[in-house]
Amino acid sequence: MPSFTFHIQDPSAPETTYLFEAIVGQLAALETMQWRAMFAFATGGGVISLLRDAAYQDFQGRGGETDLVVGLDSITDEPALMALQLEERDHPKFSSRVFHNDAGGLFHPKICHFTQKGGDQTVIVGSGNLTPGGLRGNVEAFCVVRFDVGEYVDLRPWDAFLLSHADAIRSIDEDALVRARENARFRQSRPRKKREAEPDLSPSAEEPAGDAEPPAPVTSRVLVAYVPKAGDRWKQVHLNRDVVDQFFRVIPDSAQRVFLTEVLPGGAPQEEEARHLVYSPANKNMKIEFAARRADIYPDDHPILVVLETGLRTFKYLMLLPEDDGYSQMTRLLGHEASLGKGLQRVLTTRQTAMAFWQKLPL
């Protein structure tokens, strides 16, 4: 009998499984060799986060095949299509197409199908799209159905749909890019106080009229931590168990991800990073990689990591070097508050307390 699990993606529930995590969990399985999917909508943030994930990179590296079809009816944007084009150009086993809908109603499926070497198969069907909101930001529902080799999986309607609409399912071309730009113009021109029936974007992307985001609550949790040297790979920040359990709340070497957005000292956010927690059995270290300051060598004094929790396993952060604004203020905070766990000073506090030391904290 196939095994069936049902999930409510609830970003407020610590035990939730994000759709993003369910997908990368399948890609991470060493036997998975084929991934095909249809999504109604795709945005750059959703596509890029998946394509850059370590699980997808490993899947691709072992020769995995990908076939994606996305719709153009609404939401889908030009950055998503351009990222898919680039991936297809660079990797011959990656295929992406778009559905030019002439059927009247919305093209609205959200389904993934994974095939393993031995013949096992997994199907994920739900409400989430290939967007930041659909993959983890929204409350969504999805089910994961696993079929052992020899168990019948009837996906003939999927294949029949692709065949009957073959003329409308085409490679990403200039017509598709024009349609995606029109989607963006429509979203920008609509009244901001109204919400579409399909809220698949993250709030900041859904309302692009300004760059400013609403301020985080003053009670938001903040981690301030010295970063150990760890050779020339100090951006893979070593953490102790208390920090992992009490702040990041992620299971090591699992499909769970922490979603990190670097904020530059001036306050500008960078692209989101989806990272897994790595556990080293040899030295019992746990590490999360941060993209910030890649070009910098480790300074004479410890760098300071400042991380603001904005949602479940979702964070904004700064990586401060001794010459940066805020470094001396965060040094004082580290000397004032009790350390969490063993090792270098790591403080779990609130945004309000951090701002008492550094009034211009850009998080």
78 and 194 inside one domain = yes
Q: Quick one: 267 and 129 in the same domain? A: no
Look at the chain and report how many structural domains it folds into. 2
The answer to whether residue 138 is domain-embedded is yes
Same domain? 151 vs 187 = yes
Residue 363 within a domain:
no
Identity of residue 267: G
Q: 354 in the Ramachandran plot: left (φ > 0), alpha (ψ -120 to 50) or beta?
A: alpha
Which domain-ending residue is among 144, 179, 206?
206
Length of the chain: 363
Q: DSSP of 155-190, one letter per residue?
A: -HHHHHHHHHTTTTEEE--HHHHHHHHHHHHHHHHS
Q: Are residues 285 and 329 in the same domain?
A: yes
Structural domain contains residue 213:
no
Q: Do 237 and 194 belong together in one domain?
A: no
23-48 pLDDT, tens per residue? 999 999 999 999 999 999 999 999 99
What are residue 302's phi and psi, to 5 degrees?
-60, 130
Opening angle at CA 313, ends 211 and 286, nearest 5: 125
Give burial (CB, 10 Å; 0-12/13-18/19+) of 66.
buried
- Which tokens sit at 187? 């979203």
Shared domain for 159 and 229, answered yes or no, is no
On whether the CB atoms of residues 309 and 348 are closer than 8 A, the answer is no
DSSP letters of 284-311?
A: TEEEEE--TTTTPPP-SSPPEEEEEEEE
* Domain co-membership, 75 together with 184: yes
241 and 99 share one domain: no
pLDDT tens for 65-100 read 999 999 999 999 999 999 999 999 999 999 999 999
Residue 362 lies in a domain: no
Q: The tokens of 155 are what?
A: 């996906």
Q: What is the pLDDT of residues 198-257, one digit of tens each?
A: 555 544 433 333 333 344 444 589 999 999 987 777 889 999 999 999 999 999 989 999
Q: Which domain holds residue 302?
A: 221-357
CATH number of the domain residue 321 falls in: 2.40.330.30
Same domain assignment for residues 43 and 190:
yes
* 3-state DSSP assignment of residue 222: strand
Whether 184 and 319 map to the same domain: the answer is no
Helix axes of 78-90 and 44-51: crossing angle, nearest 10 degrees: 30
Q: Could you give the CA distance from residue 338 to residue 319 in angstroms, rounded to a whole number? A: 21
Q: How crowded is the C-beta side of 67, counted as CA atoms within 13 Å?
A: 11
Q: What is the pLDDT of residue 283?
A: 74
Q: What is the pLDDT of residues 275-308, one digit of tens each?
A: 999 998 877 789 999 999 888 899 999 999 999 9
On whether residue 116 sits in a domain, the answer given is yes
- pTM for this prediction: 0.88
Q: Which of 70, 68, 101 is nearest to 168 (CA)?
A: 101
**Do 128 and 230 fall within a single domain?**
no
Residue 215 covered by a domain: no
The CATH number for 125's domain is: 3.30.870.10
